[in-house]
Amino acid sequence: MSETSPTLSRRERNRINTAAEIKDRARAQMESEGVAALSLRAIAREMGMTAPAIYRYFPSRNDLVTALIVDSYHSLADALNEADASVARDDLTGRLFAITRAYRAWAFAHRAEYSLIFGTPIIGYHAPYEVTKPAANRATVPLVDVIMKAMRRAGAGPGQNSGVYSGLSALEDDVRHAVIAAWATMHGLVSLELFGHAEKIEASPDALYDAEIVWLTRRLGIETQSPNNGNSL
Amino acid sequence: MSETSPTLSRRERNRINTAAEIKDRARAQMESEGVAALSLRAIAREMGMTAPAIYRYFPSRNDLVTALIVDSYHSLADALNEADASVARDDLTGRLFAITRAYRAWAFAHRAEYSLIFGTPIIGYHAPYEVTKPAANRATVPLVDVIMKAMRRAGAGPGQNSGVYSGLSALEDDVRHAVIAAWATMHGLVSLELFGHAEKIEASPDALYDAEIVWLTRRLGIETQSPNNGNSL
DNA sequence: TGTACATCAGTGAACGCGCGTTCACTGATGTAC
DNA sequence: TGTACATCAGTGAACGCGCGTTCACTGATGTAC
């Protein structure tokens, strides 16, 4: 999961493993006890260490949280990129389905991490923007690419400054709006569902979700292509 | 704010006021410290009482939280109903804008309460469904009514079992889907905005929000009416 | 109107708990010669 | 290859803190006669 430098000493390998285990236990704890209940002492306890040992790896609780947030964004970004890559580049509908379904699947497979990055902000904690932002941006790349191409294909030809983008704010207004709208759709449906507000209401959330993505494709003018009905979750 | 029974003794009036103050302080505390940090001791401290006194009013911390949740749903329901009532009954577009804008405005005016009911669920707490549900249902009434009428007007005439509905699950599939979709749009946009994920990205969230509501009206086939461009927040 | 009694809001001390963080330390792992 | 030294992961005790909840109590408010 990290760089495989030529030779790592026992000590270095242990250090990497221990740091990884701390984060794994933290994730498991957030999953079962909630994000706010994350406790260094509890992590240490589970690992059979004393609490101060954690400080060899993370200078404070907040730094651990920051690391978990960055990891979460990367995990989400990987999932979205991987899903996107499995579809032909010019099948924009297929890609949109792949990406949006992967988003929902990731959220359900990583509830705690989803809450961590998209849920209610943590009380006394403010993520250091410069650390968090690059990871967060990575997660937006595939969706932005699809929507940008879709809008360009649909004829609204503002695609002069194309190619690589560095953060959403550099995008044209239309594309940016469409991306936020799409994201809001995904996020709205997923968080209502995940946090139990659509629970007793909707029997087939999969179908509803897909139906909403179909609406997105219509808005983007790419609805003519195949809806790609695989299983979504 | 409560029933005005003929004569209330000093004691009864004090009791009502104190219970209300406890909840007000609790709301203020959630606003500033976060929902999870709500503390009976801190509330008592601010009120110049000792902590055990709170137990005269709420049998436990969880019961206080439940009361706050119910209050929040009613507050939201009141806001939505009031907004809805200010528009002519048959101006469906106007009503949809009034309701959805009121939703967003309420969320921003009551951040903590919004988080409490729509944010990440609280750790060891599960709201008693039978207490919470009626209040939650009240908040869905106006939106359901508008969407039901819109779909009926648009010709898809499934409106046989019309009239009063008792909870979303009794509705026809089409209407229920449309309501959830609309709610997801509002909720997605509002929570991305409120929790700071659209912060540095979107300069004019008001306009974007309204634009999305316009899309909703198109889906519902009521886009022909005036977009009603008042101030939204 | 006045007295005796019941209700009940609020007190103060105590319970047992868990937390993040600091500090001086031990002892194993790794490095230089 | 062997010894002397440096690094650093982890320990154990302690800091000061806040929390929800219980309990026996005091004293003011309200009620019955």
Q: What is the pLDDT of residues B12-38, one digit of tens each?
A: 999 999 999 999 999 999 999 888 889
The least confident of A15-24, A26-35, B66-75 is A26-35
pLDDT-derived band at B153, boundaries 50, 70, 90:
confident
- CB A218 within 7 Å, strand D: no
- The stretch A139-160 carries a mean pLDDT of 82
- CB B40 within 7 Å, strand D: yes
pLDDT at B3: 40
pLDDT at B230: 44
Q: Which of B33, B116, B120 to mutate to test the interface with A (most CBs of A within 10 A)?
A: B120
End-to-end CA distance of chain A: 25
Which of B168, B187, B195 minimises the CB distance to A120?
B195
Distance CA B93, CA B222 (A): 6
Round and report the angstrom distance from CA (A36) to C1' (C19): 12
pTM of the model: 0.90
pLDDT-derived band at B166, boundaries 50, 70, 90:
low
pLDDT at B10: 83
Which of B34, B36, B180 minimises the CB distance to A198?
B180
Does the beta carbon of A187 lie under 8 angstroms from any beta carbon of chain B?
yes
pLDDT at A149: 94
- CB A200 within 7 Å, strand C: no
The contacts of residue A36 (CB under 8 Å, 6+ apart) are A122, A123, B34, B36, B123
Q: Is A52 exposed, middle or buried (0-12, 13-18, 19+ CB in 10 A)?
A: exposed
pLDDT-derived band at A5, boundaries 50, 70, 90:
very low
CB contact under 8 A, B34 and A122: yes
Closest nucleotide C1' to the C-alpha of A9:
C30
Residue B32 in tokens: 């500033």
- CB A39 within 7 Å, strand C: yes
- The stretch A181-185 carries a mean pLDDT of 96
pLDDT at B160: 47
The count of other CB atoms within 10 Å of the CB of residue B87 is 18
- The stretch B124-139 carries a mean pLDDT of 91
Instruction: Give the residue nearest to nucleotide C22 (CA to C1').
Output: A52
Mean pLDDT computed over every residue of chain B: 87
- CB A53 within 7 Å, strand D: yes
pLDDT-derived band at B122, boundaries 50, 70, 90:
confident
pLDDT in tens, A58-113: 999 999 999 999 999 999 999 999 999 999 999 999 999 999 999 999 999 999 99
- Chain C positions under 7 Å from a protein CB? 8-14, 18-24, 29-31
pLDDT at A147: 96
Counting residues of chain A whose pLDDT is more than 70, the rounded percentage is 85
Identity of the amino acid at B70: V
Round and report the angstrom distance from CA (B71) to C1' (D28): 32
- CB B11 within 7 Å, strand C: yes
Which of A123, A186, A187 minimises the CB distance to B34?
A123
pLDDT at A2: 40
Cβ pair B18, B57 in contact under 8 A: yes
